[in-house]
């Protein structure tokens, strides 16, 4: 919500409105990424070099959203579409990995649905009214990765006869 007073209605501060809309979109991004992290399959690797083993369902290149500086921008042996860094932490996850095709996405009725409603006497309130719809979000399509050197990878013993 963004409140406009009587004087604002005659000459709105468009820069302030843009800043408000940008902050609202950042809030939505944080909500979406936290929801992705909650739904992700969690995997730990011993080294950064093992990150290329992350293989979520879908098709196309991998995309990485990193929460930790421990995760590099480029992974050796991985064909990444791009790596995006966000400035908040998700407990127990250093990065999210998913595919650009068939992977998770957020659908909105419109990119920016800006509406207004009368508010009090000679005031108005701007609203971003759409709801986020999460599609294909789950442990098969999103992998939450963490580098944990203490992870042991026991080799499979041959079956005993």
pLDDT for residue 52 = 87
pLDDT for the residue numbered 156: 36
pLDDT at 28: 85
DSSP letters of 105-161? EEE-SSS--EEEEE-SSS-EEEEE----EEES-STTT-EEEEE-TT---PPPPPPP-
- What is this structure's pTM? 0.77
Cα 38 to Cα 66, 77, 89, 104, 144: the distances in Å are 15, 27, 13, 13, 9
Largest CA distance in the chain: 86
Q: What is the mean pLDDT of each run of 10 residues along the chain (161 residues)?
A: 77 88 86 93 92 92 90 82 84 92 84 60 71 92 93 50 45
CA neighbours closer than 13 Å in the CB half-sphere of residue 119: 16
């Amino acid at each position: 919500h963004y409140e406009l007073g009587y004087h604002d209605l005659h000459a709105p501060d468009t820069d302030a409105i843009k800043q408000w809309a940008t902050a609202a979109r950042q809030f939505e991004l944080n909500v979406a990424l936290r929801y992705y992290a909650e739904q992700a399959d969690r995997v730990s690797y011993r080294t950064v070099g093992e990150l290329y083993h992350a293989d979520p369902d879908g098709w196309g290149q991998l995309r990485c959203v990193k929460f930790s500086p421990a995760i590099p921008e480029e992974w050796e042996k991985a064909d990444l579409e791009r790596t995006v860094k966000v400035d908040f932490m998700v407990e127990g996850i250093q990065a999210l990995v998913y595919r650009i095709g068939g992977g998770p996405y957020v659908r909105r009725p419109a990119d920016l649905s800006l509406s207004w409603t009368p508010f009090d006497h000679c005031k108005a309130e701007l609203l971003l009214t759409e709801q986020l719809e999460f599609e294909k979000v789950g442990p098969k399509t999103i992998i939450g990765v963490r580098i944990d050197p203490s992870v042991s990878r026991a080799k499979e013993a041959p079956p005993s006869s």
